[in-house]
Structures are given as C-alpha cells and as structure tokens.
C-alpha cells in the first residue's frame, strides 16, 4: 500500500491498533461479560415462530416506537425523561461524542476504565482526560475536581459499576461529580442487572445527567441494543446525529419479545450474582490471589507472585479464555474473569489452581 494513499488517513487513527477480539473457538468463554445461559427452550420456539413474520424486505420502524415504550417501562425511566436507542451503548457513546465534538473539547473519565470512552474521543477528534482512580479503585474527588476545573470536559463518563475493576463508586461522590460537570454527565450502567442500584431515579434532579443502559450484559449481547435516558431537549439534540434505522428489524422484534418475558433474565441475573459471590469467596481463599470486590458479572484479580500473562496463557492452554489486563500501571499482574455457568466456574478455579502450583500440574 502506498504511503501517498495512507497519508490521507488521520494520524491519530493510524496510531491506533484496532479493537482486538481474540479467537474463542473451542474455548470456555469467560472473557467478555456475556450471560452464559441464553433463551429457555420453550421461549426459543415461540421466538422462532414470530421471527417468520418479521418483514426483512422493509426498513425498520425508524423510531422503534413499540420497543421504546417497552424499554421505558422495563427500565423504569422517569415520566418526564426521554430515551434514545443505539446499536449497542457503544454507538450511544459515539453519538454523544459526535454531538459535542470540537477540537479543543474533551471527554473525561477514569483510569482504569472502559476503553471505548478514550477510543471514541479519538475517533471524533476530541481529547481524552483519564483521571486516575485511587489505589483501591475508588474515586479520588480532589483529583476529579481539579481535572474538571482545569479541562472543562464537554462529556464525563462514570461507569457504575466500573469496568474493568468491577466496583461501584460511592454514589455521593458521583452526585458531586454530576453537580460539578460543566457539560453532560453520563452514568453508564451496563452492569445494572448485577448491581441493583441506579441513578435512574436521580435523572429528575439534574438536567445534565444522562443514564445509559444496555441489554448486552443482561443476556442479549448479540442484539446490539443500548439505551440512553435523559432530559427530552438534550435527547432530541443527540438524536440528530443518529443514522436512520440504526436499530434493525431483527433486534426490534427480538428485544420486544424477550422483554415481554423478562422474568427469566431477572432469574438468570440472580443466579449470576450468587455464583459471582461464591467465586469471589473461593478466589479470596487462594493465597496467591488478590481479588477486588465486584458488583458486576466479572471479577478482577491480581496474582501476587506469578507472572499474570503466563497464567493467562496456561488457562487458555487448559481451554479457558479470560481477559489479560496485565500491563505496567494500576492493572499490573491483573486478570479479569467473567462469571460463567457453575461448571465453567469450577473448571476455571481448577485451572487457576493448577496454573499457580507447578507441582500439581506435573502430576
């Protein structure tokens, strides 16, 4: 490829490496915060029957009005607030950024944090300010205050619970950040089903507050559907950068169908929470492992003595794919595991024990 041609690509894009999704074929997949269960078989049949009447030759309902109503009810969006749907909440982050982007403006969030906030800042020509979290991954309000005053962020993202750390920040600290925000403040509640606490009821108190949800982590990651809730005047503006028909007919049909039977998702989230707590306990009893508290469906842990990347590789060789977070900085020697089915969790624990005790693996 000629350099003449590639020079047209913006330098900040050329510097990036593309978002890496590892090949999980043949592996137990505990890397991406997916719900391991899927639809119960009787619902699966009913869903398939309905699928045959979806008109794939037609454009979707541009406003997805039925799905709108359904989500507003299921997610208990306050009456005087509106919602906007995205092709995953990643698309909503992009729409938010596009609607405020300018060269001298920034997005502010926290480190370690969700990578898409900084990636999308870059895609949209904005700068990114990552305020470091304290050593226990809590918010350091003095640092946050100073960064907000200095950088005057157009957009602030707070993941609640945070990814990749798994903890819930102090709610009073988040409220203070919302009050300090010169621009929009987004509370990203991707892990809401596992945290059972929300800023949704506080939407009415702050017009600068937006609450973002997704159906991905609750069990519908394949659909790509995110929800942004906020003041109607603000939502209407962000809606202008939405590409027409961003929610396809299959997603609209399936999400409506599943949300009409949402009980099973509630039950699955409950099982995952119980399994998470059991896994946390088991890992906390392993002398070589430091586990961080989690209110999400994944657990961040640090290996006190072993080489984390070597342990990650051993687990993969044993058929278990988790996420390697090991890099210099606050996540040094850290790995992240998603809570799977009980049997998968057992196999993970066994493989981890094995990876950490060379004598045993030699048996």
Ligand X SMILES: *Cc1c(COP(=O)(O)O)cnc(C)c1O
Nearer to ligand X, 173 or 221 (CB): 221
CA gap 9, 85 in Å, rounded: 30
Q: Which is nearer to ligand X, 242 or 314 (CB)?
A: 242
Tell me phi and psi for residue 16, to 5 degrees. -75, 150
Residue placing its CB nearer to ligand X in the complex, 38 or 46: 38
Q: Residue 16 has what DSSP assignment?
A: P
State both tokens at 3.
């350099």
How far is residue 235 from each of residues 40, 99, 130, 210, 217, measured CA to CA in Å?
35, 11, 25, 9, 23
- For ligand X, the closer of residues 120 and 231 by Cβ is 120
Q: Are 328 and 284 in contact (CB under 8 A)?
A: no
Q: Taking the CB of residue 75, how many other CB atoms lie within 10 A of it?
A: 18
- Smallest gap from Cβ 91 to ligand X, in A, equals 7
Q: Would you call the peptide bond into 92 cis, given omega within 30 degrees of 0 as the criterion?
A: no
CA dist 342 → 42, 272, 338 (Å): 22, 9, 12
- By C-beta, is 338 or 347 nearer to ligand X? 338
**Diameter over CA atoms, the chain:** 66
Distance of CA 353 to the CA centre of its chain: 28
Closest CA to 40 of 249, 278, 271, 311: 271
Q: Are strands 334-338 and 82-86 parallel, antiparallel or unpaired?
A: unpaired
Q: Minimum CB separation from ligand X for residue 84, in Å?
A: 13
| Phi and psi, residue 159, nearest 5° | -85, 130
CB of 189 to ligand X, least distance (A): 8
Q: With residue 348 as reference, give the H or E element that holds it.
A: helix 342-356
User: Smallest distance, Å, CB 346 to ligand X?
Assistant: 25
- Smallest gap from Cβ 211 to ligand X, in A, equals 12
Q: Measured from the CB atom, is 262 or 317 closer to ligand X?
A: 262
Question: Least distance in Å: CB of 24 to ligand X?
Answer: 16
Q: C-beta of 173: minimal distance to ligand X in Å?
A: 17
Q: Is 66 helix (H, G, I), strand (E, B) or coil?
A: helix
**Rounded to the nearest whole angstrom, what is the least distance from the CB of residue 284 to ligand X in the complex?**
23
Angle between helices 141-151 and 171-180 in degrees, nearest 10: 20
CB of 160 to ligand X, least distance (A): 9
* Paired tokens of 72: 């507003």
Give min distance, CB of 164 to ligand X, in A: 8
Residues contributing to the site for ligand X (CB under 6 A): 33, 88-90, 114, 159, 163, 188, 190, 214, 216, 221, 226
Q: For strand 334-338 and strand 298-303, is the pairing parallel, antiparallel, or unpaired? A: antiparallel
Comparison of 153 and 219: residue with beta carbon closer to ligand X: 219
Shorter beta-carbon distance to ligand X: residue 64 or 355: 64
Complex with ligand X: residue 109 or 333, whichever CB lies closer: 109
Please tell me the number of Cα atoms within 13 Å of 283 on its side-chain side.
30
Q: What are the two backbone dihedrals, phi and then psi, of residue 105, each rounded to the nearest 5 degrees?
A: -110, 155
34 or 355: whose CB is closer to ligand X?
34
């Amino acid at each position: 490829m000629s350099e003449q041609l590639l020079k047209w690509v913006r330098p900040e894009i050329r510097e990036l490496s593309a978002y890496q999704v590892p090949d999980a074929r043949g592996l137990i997949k505990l890397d991406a915060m997916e719900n391991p269960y899927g639809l119960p078989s009787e619902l699966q049949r009913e869903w398939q029957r309905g699928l045959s009447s979806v008109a794939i030759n037609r454009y979707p309902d541009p406003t997805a009005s039925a799905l709108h109503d359904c989500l507003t009810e299921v997610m208990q969006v306050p009456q005087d607030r509106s919602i906007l749907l995205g092709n995953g909440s990643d698309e909503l982050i992009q729409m938010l950024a596009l609607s405020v982007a300018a060269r001298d403006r920034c997005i502010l969030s926290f480190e370690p944090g969700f990578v898409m906030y900084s990636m999308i800042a870059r895609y949209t020509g904005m700068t990114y300010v990552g305020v470091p979290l304290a050593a226990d991954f809590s918010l350091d309000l003095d640092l946050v205050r100073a960064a907000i005053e200095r950088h005057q962020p157009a957009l602030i993202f707070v993941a609640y619970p945070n990814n990749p750390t798994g903890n819930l920040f102090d709610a009073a600290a988040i409220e203070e950040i919302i009050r300090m925000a010169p621009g929009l403040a987004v509370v990203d509640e991707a892990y809401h089903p596992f945290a059972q606490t929300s800023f949704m009821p506080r939407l009415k108190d702050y017009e600068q507050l937006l609450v973002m949800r997704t159906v991905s982590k609750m069990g519908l990651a394949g659909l790509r559907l995110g929800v942004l809730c906020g003041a109607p005047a603000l939502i209407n503006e962000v809606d202008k950068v939405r590409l027409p028909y961003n929610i396809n007919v299959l997603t609209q049909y399936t999400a409506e169908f599943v949300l009409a039977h949402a009980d099973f998702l509630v039950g699955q989230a409950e099982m995952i929470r119980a399994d998470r707590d059991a896994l946390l306990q088991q890992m906390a009893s392993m002398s070589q492992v430091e586990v961080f508290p989690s209110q999400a469906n994944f657990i961040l842990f640090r290996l006190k003595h072993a080489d984390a990347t070597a342990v990650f590789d051993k687990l993969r060789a044993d058929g278990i794919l988790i996420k390697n977070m090991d890099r210099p900085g606050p996540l040094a020697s850290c790995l992240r595991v998603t809570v799977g089915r009980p049997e998968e969790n057992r196999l993970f624990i066994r493989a981890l024990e094995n990876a950490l005790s060379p004598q045993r693996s030699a048996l």
